[in-house]
Amino acid sequence: MNTVITFIYKFKFFNRSLIILTFGIFSLIFLLSRCKEQSIDKPAIEIQKGKGLFVVNEGTFSYGNASLHYLNLENDSLNTHEDVFKLANNRPLGDIFQSMCIIDNLAWLIVNNSGKIEVINPNTFKTVTTIKGLRSPRFVKEIPTGKVYVTDLYANSISIIDTKTFTKTGQISCPGWTEELILIKEEVWISNHNRNYVYVVNALSDKITDSVEVAYGGSSILEGKDGHVYLLCSGDYTVSKTGGLFCIDPKTKKIIKKWLFNKIDFNPTNLKENPAGDSLYFIQQGIYGFPNHLNSLPSKPMIIQNSGTNFYSLHIEIKTGKLFVSNAKDFVSRGEVLIFSKKGILEKTYKVGVVPSNFLAW
């Protein structure tokens, strides 16, 4: 009888222990899954969409110190001034972070000298996938047929990337350094820094169908609110070629207006349009701003670049018309973002990464 009681007691004890052990294992699995879930979903810093902008920091060439910053423009207490990509992925972004855009609710980070594109979740900053095997990517543009065009510094071609598989599916031969690009209906306009032409690609056939002769050093390009194409050719003082600013009718491919530069060392960059669509801006040792109906450029910038300052990129806020100007300083130390009123009065300064070179409102 005692043996039976002892067996029953041991069985109950074992059964209870098994239940406790099983419960403990499931609890541990649940906790680990919750930790993993939180680590995936919790952003590196708190952001509020629609209230700030991303800052693309190139980094110093060959240093591998490119970085991504986010500035909340309405709540400074949320700004950590830290590299959100590195915080989220526990690794550096790469070498020369060139540009950034949003495609299908994902952020594409184009890393030039690393020859790759990091595709991240813009809310958590975590990498979704990495597109590799590119030569020296510069800028990207989404094409409505499920593909992305990628311009390149050295490849003599424009790469075509599938937006679903994130793989390269083809390329469009185009000699020289292809730079910025815009989409107007079914045509992609592409600037070229090493040629005197802006090229037009049919987005359905993926073939160059036209070109317009302009000046040397094609860089910034935009579609104005008036429906015209505005192209900035920066020229190149190293090869003694001057540039110019062109207004082109996208239907006829005819130049409507041009502002030619007459100095080798006048090499403006970062062409932008104000929210009203009646004025143009660019960087040339300061910020130039002028109505787009003028026949000649102003003789001096509206915002002077002070000694020790290097204006490097420009962004104009749609709601306010304020000018966001990056200061690359000495191209080695951390830079700044300077915010000016549309009248050119300095209002605020933010600390960012090394060589801030682009902006994306988010």
Position 30 scores a pLDDT of 45
Q: Please state, in angstroms and as integers, the Cα–Cα distance from residue 344 to each residue in 206, 275, 281, 328, following that order.
A: 42, 16, 12, 19
Dihedral sign, CA of 356, 284, 191, 221?
positive
pLDDT tens per residue across span 164-183: 999 999 999 999 999 999 99
DSSP, res 62? T
Structure confidence at residue 12 as a pLDDT band (50, 70, 90) = very low
Confirm whether 223 is domain-assigned: no
Statement: residue 10 has pLDDT above 90? no
Segment 316-343 shows an average pLDDT of 97
Q: Is residue 45 within 8 Å of 123, Cβ to Cβ?
A: no
Segment 31-60 shows an average pLDDT of 69
Q: Is residue 223 within 8 Å of 182, Cβ to Cβ?
A: yes
> How many other CB atoms are found less than 10 A from the CB of residue 130?
15
Position 345 scores a pLDDT of 97
Confirm whether 289 is domain-assigned: no
Structural domain that includes position 23: 1-42
Position 47 scores a pLDDT of 75
> How many other CB atoms are found less than 10 A from the CB of residue 121?
16
Q: Please state, in angstroms and as integers, the Cα–Cα distance from residue 166 to each residue in 103, 118, 169, 172, following that order.
A: 12, 10, 9, 17
Give dist(CA 76, CA 339) in Å, integer: 14
Question: Which single residue is written with the structure tokens 């590299």?
Answer: 83
The model carries a pTM of: 0.87
Specify the range with the lowest mean pLDDT, choosing from 21-25, 235-239, 253-257: 21-25
pLDDT tens per residue across span 270-320: 999 999 999 999 999 999 999 999 999 999 999 999 999 999 999 999 999
Confirm whether 247 is domain-assigned: no
Confirm whether 10 is domain-assigned: yes
Query: What burial class does residue 148 get, using C-beta atoms within 10 Å of its C-beta: 0-12 exposed, 13-18 middle, 19+ buried?
Result: buried
Query: What burial class does residue 223 get, using C-beta atoms within 10 Å of its C-beta: 0-12 exposed, 13-18 middle, 19+ buried?
Result: middle
Supply angle C-alpha 283, 285, 291, rounded to 5: 45
Segment 180-193 shows an average pLDDT of 98
Q: Residue 284, SS3?
A: coil
Position 43 scores a pLDDT of 59
pLDDT tens per residue across span 52-65: 999 999 999 999 99
HSE-CB at 7 with a 13 A cutoff on CA atoms is 4
Segment 235-257 shows an average pLDDT of 97
Number of residues assigned to the chain: 362
Position 44 scores a pLDDT of 58
Backbone angles phi, psi at 78, to 5 degrees: -90, -5
Position 18 scores a pLDDT of 39
Query: What burial class does residue 285 get, using C-beta atoms within 10 Å of its C-beta: 0-12 exposed, 13-18 middle, 19+ buried?
Result: middle
Count structural domains, the chain.
1
Statement: residue 28 has pLDDT above 60? no
Position 49 scores a pLDDT of 82
Q: Please state, in angstroms and as integers, the Cα–Cα distance from residue 18 to each residue in 10, 11, 14, 21, following that order.
A: 12, 10, 6, 5
More confident residue, 167 or 7: 167
Position 299 scores a pLDDT of 94
Confirm whether 362 is domain-assigned: no
Task: Tell me the H-state helices in the chain.
Answer: 2-41, 84-89
Position 23 scores a pLDDT of 43
Confirm whether 24 is domain-assigned: yes
Nearest in space to 150 (alpha carbons), one of 134, 127, 128, 164: 134
| pLDDT above 90 as % of the chain | 83
Contacts (Cβ under 8 Å, ≥6 apart) of 86: 67, 92, 93
Statement: residue 42 has pLDDT above 90? no
Confirm whether 33 is domain-assigned: yes
Position 81 scores a pLDDT of 86
Q: Residue 178, SS3?
A: strand
Confirm whether 31 is domain-assigned: yes
pLDDT tens per residue across span 106-116: 999 999 999 99
Position 37 scores a pLDDT of 43
Contacts (Cβ under 8 Å, ≥6 apart) of 20: none
